[in-house]
Amino acid sequence: MDPLKFLGPVIVLAGILGFVTYAILFERKILGWMQSRPGPNQLGPWGMLQTVADVLKLWMKEDTIPNNADRPLFKMAPVIAFVPSFAVIAVIPFSPSIVFADLGVGLLYFIAISGITTIGILVGGWASNNKYALIGSMRSVAQMISYEIPLVLSIVGVILAVGSLNMSDIVLKQEKMWFIVPQFLGFVVFFIAMLAELARTPFDLPEAESELVAGYFVEYSGFRFAFFMLAEYVYVFAMSALTTILFLGGWNPLFGLTFIPPIIWFLLKVFFLVFVIIWLRGSLPRVRLDQLMQMGWKVLLPLSLVNIFLSALLKEVPFIQAFF
């Protein structure tokens, strides 16, 4: 194996860290504009160095571990939460040629590995030995496992159409028509479940500042806290990339504009989804916990089951069966 190939993951890691740095800045900027205020604008031109300064500050903060905490678990939790968030990016095809791990079970790998983060959150909340942290982590986990079901089942329609779990195969199948059109119901369920998995507004209950202080990471400080935040933003990228691959045609160009390279198309779609996620945060209020749980189990889960059978039955209808 070409040793140069190992440079790829390092470049991806650097790219992801750069993405997170500027995603946080843009989130604060966009929220600022939506609320008629400038947002961060002091450090560097246009506030470009704000997040860099924040990270440096967190790095030099004292690392406080509560006396009552379960120390080994407390130290492990941020790592358990972060590692899967970066590991899932291995299977994402950025373009026809830039695929790091072309696994036959790529989609299953993504879903399975991303579930591990839930354990990191549970461990962090438990090990803190703090009531807020425990309640916050319980809520997070309840939310995440409730929405993982519709998330996983809404994809089955796409798998039915492709007949493969390989990410590149899924993108290649969408050359004529993106799955957002034939799989619209699946897309809606997937997108809502994705927002809940990411704990983004309107489903940001785990971090409800007004009732739980900050949720499961209330006892964390310094860089351990930073790794929980980093995991969250890396997931914003990973989940946007997954949505792009499953429903928005991956690297396939729009309007036949093939002179733009595929990787640019892919990143444009991912950044558009990231913007939509931030946009929703600026527009929507937070739902209540009972509304959240009922929506997951009583609306999204039945809808995702209906979607499976609808997709399978539409395969029988002449003229349109090619799309399912």
Whichever of 75 and 281 has its CB closer to another protein, that residue is 75
* Range in contact with another protein (rule: CB under 8 A) among 33-41, 43-51, 125-133, 245-253: 125-133
Tokens of 316: 């029988």
Q: Rule CB under 8 A: say whether 71 interacts with another protein.
A: no
Cα 237 to Cα 37, 156, 216: the distances in Å are: 26, 22, 22
Subset of residues 25 to 44 that bind another protein, contact rule: CB under 8 A: none
Q: Are 134 and 125 in contact (CB under 8 A)?
A: yes
Subset of residues 251 to 280 that bind another protein, contact rule: CB under 8 A: none
Q: Is 99 helix (H, G, I), strand (E, B) or coil?
A: coil
Binding residue for another protein, selected from 48, 101, 208, 314, defined by CB under 8 A = 101
Whichever of 42 and 67 has its CB closer to another protein, that residue is 67
Q: Rule CB under 8 A: say whether 244 interacts with another protein.
A: no
Q: Rule CB under 8 A: say whether 213 interacts with another protein.
A: yes
* Range in contact with another protein (rule: CB under 8 A) among 34-42, 145-153, 180-188, 243-251: 145-153
Report the C-alpha gap between 47 and 40 in whole angstroms.
Answer: 5
Binding residue for another protein, selected from 89, 121, 195, 242, defined by CB under 8 A = 89
- With a CB cutoff of 8 Å and minimum separation 6, the contacts of 281 are 27, 31, 200, 201, 204
Subset of residues 293 to 322 that bind another protein, contact rule: CB under 8 A: 293-294, 297-298, 301-302, 305, 308-309, 312-313, 315-316
Whichever of 227 and 265 has its CB closer to another protein, that residue is 227
Q: Give alpha helix (H) positions in the chain.
A: 7-34, 50-59, 71-87, 106-114, 116-127, 131-154, 156-162, 167-172, 184-197, 209-212, 222-247, 262-283, 289-294, 301-314
Smallest distance, another protein to C-beta of residue 176, A: 17
Smallest distance, another protein to C-beta of residue 44, A: 22
Whichever of 28 and 315 has its CB closer to another protein, that residue is 315
* Range in contact with another protein (rule: CB under 8 A) among 44-52, 255-263, 266-274, 286-294: 286-294
Report the C-alpha gap between 26 and 148 in whole angstroms.
Answer: 28
Please report, to the nearest 10 degrees, the dihedral formed by the alpha carbons of residues 209, 210, 211, 213 taken in order: 40
Neighbours of 321 (CB within 10 A): 10
Q: Rule CB under 8 A: say whether 190 interacts with another protein.
A: no
Q: Rule CB under 8 A: say whether 236 interacts with another protein.
A: no
Subset of residues 153 to 182 that bind another protein, contact rule: CB under 8 A: 153, 156, 159-160, 163-165
Q: Rule CB under 8 A: say whether 134 interacts with another protein.
A: yes
Provide the phi-psi class of 215: left if phi over 0, else alpha when psi is between -120 and 50, else beta: left
